[in-house]
């Protein structure tokens, strides 16, 4: 999505630095946009020197095509006069329109709802998502309670929790876990007490207090205990996924949410033999109560599987519609970019299936259309690809040694020590994964690249995106229009 660079001066240490800012936020392109907007964390700049973070009060436009809504944030500071502000609004709206294929430019985009405060826009976005004022009030009370707990003496935690029992639910633990991850305090170690102590030593005071509160709650509160039990069950199955371990995990699940998660994880394992195992457990239950529990579990598993199966079919239909739109679109590249989050594994699976079917039928017209879609997806993939990976991809595409040397000569400025180190690491990784042929090819590319490069020069560094420094296309390939550059500082 369109973005720009702003020069910022840190109010704490007075360091000047540049930061990317978002101007057009499209939920379908980047689903993470929704959480950033709902949390009010849009265009947050972090000082590279002192770490101070703050939101930049800059205009943006938020687009949610599913709900056919466009929200424009236009603070009073965005222009000296109303005419300036309206020009800014027109520019942002035009940027959004230009990012969409012609057939997706609908009427509501010409009249976005405008807000002069971020809080007002966030409230409207929450309303669109079905979040009520009561929900928001509860969320505020949970945040206030968490702040009070972190400031209080741990000796008083149990009393405070008892007084606010109604606020301690899975959402409260979700908020706590989010803060743990944001501060790096979520424990990543399973290597024993010594490793845990080393992790603890590197935490900030805030991180240590967050972890202390979290551990206290998961040990003493029913909700925390249930979440830990759920994690243990899910992890146990994930470590050894078989029909037998799936059944044992389902039997150990303490709530419907855990059952639903296990069904989703183990859906491919739920064949005839799995349900025979479950039926045997029902028939050999030791008591009527246990038999009823197992029957209820079987009904839950079947209902959840049916729901997931229907959702999968609906998703497949949606991806087929998207593929048909890409084939018939006036501007398939723009359409693909505006549906970026939907170009997922399901879409790729469908595309490959359609390609195979077209080949089997000998439908050359459809085959050409599908290959055009493949070319567009490759172009989009290359635009977001790190320059080293793009270099390797194009070098591997060279048909023979002559084409490889031609490609390397065209991209001689990129042949730097960092690239050779990357190639060597990739080669070793390929050997470790048993991909000997790829490893040998990478070794050859590195050797030829070092020959073309000659004596080592001053290292090059990553800079801002620019089309000029992308690796030149290998023979027979096209040049993509954007991406990170490598240039001298």
List, for residues 106-156, the tens digit of each pLDDT value.
Answer: 999 999 999 999 999 999 999 999 988 888 899 889 999 999 999 999 999
- The predicted-structure confidence for 297-334, as pLDDT tens digits, reads as follows 999 999 999 999 999 999 999 999 999 999 999 999 99
Nearest alpha carbon to residue 145 among 119, 117, 169, 110: 169
> Is the pLDDT score of 460 beyond 60?
no
CB 112 within 8 A of CB 90: no
Give the chain's radius of gyration (CA, Å). Answer: 28
pTM of the model: 0.66
Inform me whether the pLDDT recorded for 70 exceeds 70. Answer: yes
For the cut 50, the answer to whether the pLDDT of residue 464 exceeds it is no
Domain limits, the chain? 3-128, 133-186+204-220, 249-311, 329-380, 386-487
pLDDT band at 44 (very low <50, low <70, confident <90, very high): confident
Better-scored residue on pLDDT, 197 or 54: 54
pLDDT above 60 (res 445): yes
Cα–Cα distance between 260 and 250 in angstroms, integer?
Answer: 9
Mean pLDDT confidence for 160-184: 90
What pLDDT was estimated at residue 413?
A: 87
**How far is it, in rounded angstroms, from Cα 136 to Cα 159?**
25
What per-residue confidence (pLDDT) applies to 191?
Answer: 41
pLDDT of residue 48: 85
Q: What pLDDT does 49 receive? A: 84
> What pLDDT does residue 469 have?
44
pLDDT of residue 310: 95
Asked if pLDDT for residue 476 goes beyond 60, the answer is no
The mean predicted confidence, pLDDT, of the chain is 86
pLDDT at residue 3, as a whole number: 61
Mean pLDDT along residues 33-46:
86
| 383-408 pLDDT tens trace | 777 788 889 888 998 888 899 999 99
At residue 1 the predicted structure's pLDDT band, cuts being 50, 70 and 90, is low
Beta bridge partners of 26: 63
Q: Among 37-46, 210-219, 251-260, 371-380, which is the least confidently predicted range?
A: 37-46
What is the reported pLDDT for 189?
Answer: 45
């Amino acid at each position: 999505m369109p973005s720009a660079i702003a020069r910022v001066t840190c109010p704490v240490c007075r360091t000047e630095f540049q930061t990317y800012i978002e101007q057009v936020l499209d939920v379908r392109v980047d689903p993470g946009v929704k959480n950033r907007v709902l949390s009010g964390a849009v265009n947050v700049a972090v000082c590279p020197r002192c770490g101070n973070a703050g939101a930049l009060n800059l205009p943006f436009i938020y687009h949610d095509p599913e709900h056919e809504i466009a929200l424009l944030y236009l603070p009073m500071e965005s222009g000296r006069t109303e005419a300036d502000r309206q020009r800014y609004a027109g520019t942002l709206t035009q940027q959004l329109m230009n990012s969409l294929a012609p057939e997706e430019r609908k009427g509501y985009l010409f009249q976005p709802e405008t807000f002069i405060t971020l809080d007002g826009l966030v409230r409207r976005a929450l309303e669109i998502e079905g979040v009520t004022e009561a929900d928001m009030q509860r969320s505020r009370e949970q945040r206030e309670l968490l702040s009070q707990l972190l400031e209080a003496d741990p000796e008083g935690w149990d009393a405070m929790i008892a007084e606010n029992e109604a606020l301690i639910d899975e959402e409260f633990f979700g908020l706590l876990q989010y803060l743990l991850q944001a501060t790096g305090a979520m424990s990543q170690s399973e290597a024993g007490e010594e490793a845990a102590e080393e992790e603890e030593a590197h935490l900030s005071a805030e991180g240590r207090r967050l972890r202390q509160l979290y551990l206290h709650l998961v040990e003493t509160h029913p909700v925390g205990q249930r979440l830990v039990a759920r994690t243990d069950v899910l992890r146990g199955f994930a470590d050894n996924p078989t029909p037998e371990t799936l059944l044992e995990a389902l039997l150990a699940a303490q709530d419907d949410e855990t059952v639903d998660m296990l069904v989703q994880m183990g859906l491919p394992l739920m064949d005839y033999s799995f349900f025979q195992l479950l039926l045997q457990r029902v028939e050999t239950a030791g008591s009527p109560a246990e038999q009823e529990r197992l029957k209820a579990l079987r009904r839950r598993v079947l209902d959840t599987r049916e729901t997931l199966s229907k959702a999968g079919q609906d998703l497949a239909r949606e991806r087929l519609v998207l593929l048909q739109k890409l084939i018939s679109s006036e501007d398939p590249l723009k359409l693909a970019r505006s549906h970026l989050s939907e170009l997922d594994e399901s879409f790729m699976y469908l595309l490959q299936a359609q390609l195979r079917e077209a080949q089997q039928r000998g439908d050359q017209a459809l085959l050409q259309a599908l290959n055009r879609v493949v070319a567009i997806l490759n172009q989009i993939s290359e635009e977001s690809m790190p320059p080293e990976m793009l270099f390797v991809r194009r070098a591997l595409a060279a048909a023979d040694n002559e084409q490889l040397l031609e490609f390397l000569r065209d991209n001689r400025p990129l042949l730097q020590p960092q690239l050779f180190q990357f190639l060597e690491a990739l080669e070793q990784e390929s050997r470790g994964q048993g991909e000997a042929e790829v490893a040998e090819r990478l070794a050859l590319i590195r050797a030829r690249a070092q020959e073309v490069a000659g004596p080592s020069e001053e290292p090059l560094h990553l800079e801002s995106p620019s089309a000029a420094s992308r690796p030149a296309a290998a023979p027979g390939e096209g040049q993509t229009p954007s991406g990170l550059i490598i240039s001298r500082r």
